[in-house]
Structure 1
């Protein structure tokens, strides 16, 4: 016959089926905590400090994630995929979690400029800090990229300046443009339109309106039904 409620193994040993939700200490926490301490190796991180002026979020964030991934998958803390253990049920795992979280926050702070540090000063977790940085930098992408490409297209080689200096300027702008990611076909079309209107004074207001419409949109994929300025230029 099967066990009765009074004679079940759980009742005999006084254990509960899910101690993690009750705050009852887990025996394995001392020897095999669910969250192990991570000793971050950051020596392989080779990137300029994150800066909004440098528009380098795309390349910086990619390398930051890759370096954490090489440290026992510590990049999971950026997305909240490592749940915080119960401090009473798993005190050691809980302590390890906060130590790992603090190491990632410290590493993050050392790889960004002071102006970026102000964005994450009040963040208590790596996920919160990462979200703040992502939100801050992703909002400026398309419009800033348009400006950088226009600046690059306006540069000309001249006998009044060393060719090497001009090449250096183009190289720097090129790196900044591509650091923001490849432009979509829609964004590049807007860039071409804005740049092509620069020589006609009578199109100045239209040019400014197109730039403002792009800035006001959620990104480069402007809906031609909702953005008649772009539709007018394409017909």
Structure 2
């Protein structure tokens, strides 16, 4: 039977691993929206290396931990340092990062790797955002020119560090950038890029076909809306005539009983009676029109010539023409009888 190894005699007083008290991180917090992974990584390396915590981020960190049976105190210190590094990383992350991942309280290597994978393996979408942000950055008198330009170059370095930017990817970036005036299409393109599988990535040809189809639908909808508006305008009934005196509908100023109207002081029944009377006498709009048409139907157009030889047409009542024609016929018959 094997014997249990005895703890090191120096472990209690002089453990091989001591507790580390780190200086608080003073750099810019990691934020994916800012695309500052590379700059943050450099700052963290300097801070952690000086504090003696960098090795805890390595993949083989736990393999280098002291044997808990031989060096229990050193092992306890190692685990405490691991937890302290997790807390240190936690304080160097922005709220956006903390909301996007699950912070760990132990296993600093796994915590670090989770953050690293989130930023280094972000793919083309992150590259699009970085390059688009760089393209939209302008020099301003409110900030030193060299600082602004260095920030632009940093974003480009970040984008290239995520992977090689090939011709097709650059086309997609510029295509998305030119769609900034139509945000719904721009967001849809970004969504298509991010959801496309690696075996069938979203290509520039896919982008052209997508915007072409989207514009065709938009034009069809606009045409349909225009036709609907035109139809509504055609079928909309005309509003009733309004009185120029009281501004109320269904009567004119002549029959208005309000002050200033043609029948001011009269009752509504008297106004209605006057309108009926005028309509019966042919003074109303529609009745007058009917009488006019009827008058034209009871006349016969006759061509006449004046003393100067000018011809004109006169509408002579039909009964007058018939009477004169009958008289002429009778007179002619009488003359013929006398001649006989």
* TM-score under structure 1 length normalisation: 0.61
Deviation at 1:180, TM superposition (A): 2.1
Instruction: Determine whether 1:107 maps to 2:85.
Output: no
1:71-107 alpha-carbon deviations (Å, 9 max, x no partner): 23x2010114353333332121012112211221121
- The equivalent position to 2:116 in structure 1, one of 134, 138, 154, is 134
Gaps of at least 5 residues in structure 1 are 1-15, 158-162, 218-222
Q: Does 1:174 align with 2:169?
A: no
Alpha carbons of 1:216 and 1:105: their partners in 2 closer, same or farther (altered >3 Å)? same
Q: Indicate the SS of the match to 1:27.
A: coil
1:152-196 CA-to-partner distances (Å, cap 9, x unmatched) read 436789xxxxx547998x759726624625358940533432356
Q: Which stretch has the larger CA shift, 147-156 or 132-141?
A: 147-156
Instruction: Considering fraction of residues, name the structure with more strand.
Output: 2
Q: Provide the C-alpha distance between the structure 1 equivalents of 2:175 and 2:79, rounded to a whole number of angstroms.
A: 55
Q: Secondary structure at the match of 1:112?
A: coil
Number of aligned residues = 195
Give the aligned partner of residue 78 of structure 1: 57
Matched, 1:147 2:113: no
Structure 2 gap segments, 5+ residues each: 180-184, 206-340
Give the alignment's Cα RMSD to 1 decimal.
4.2
Maintained 8 Å contact 2:87/2:105: no
Q: Supply the distance in 2 between the matched residues of 1:215 and 1:98 (Cα, whole angstroms).
A: 42
Is the contact between residue 104 and residue 126 of structure 1 (CA under 8 Å) also seen in structure 2? yes
TM-score (norm 2): 0.45
Pick aligned residue for 1:117 from 91, 98, 102 = 98
> Who is 1:24 aligned against?
6
Partner in structure 2 of residue 190 of structure 1: 168
CA contact (8 A) 1:54 1:176 kept: no
Judging changes above 3 Å, is the alpha-carbon distance between structure 1 residues 196 and 92 closer, same or farther for their aligned structure 2 residues?
Answer: closer
How far apart are 1:145 and its partner, in Å? Answer: 1.6
- Which position in structure 2 is the counterpart of 1:38? 20
Residue 63 (structure 1) aligned with residue 79 (structure 2): no
Distance verdict in 2 for CA 1:117–1:230, change over 3 Å: closer
By relative contact order (CA 8 Å, sep 6+), the higher-ranking structure is 1
Given that residues 34 and 93 in structure 1 are in contact (C-alpha distance below 8 angstroms), is that contact kept between their aligned partners in structure 2?
yes
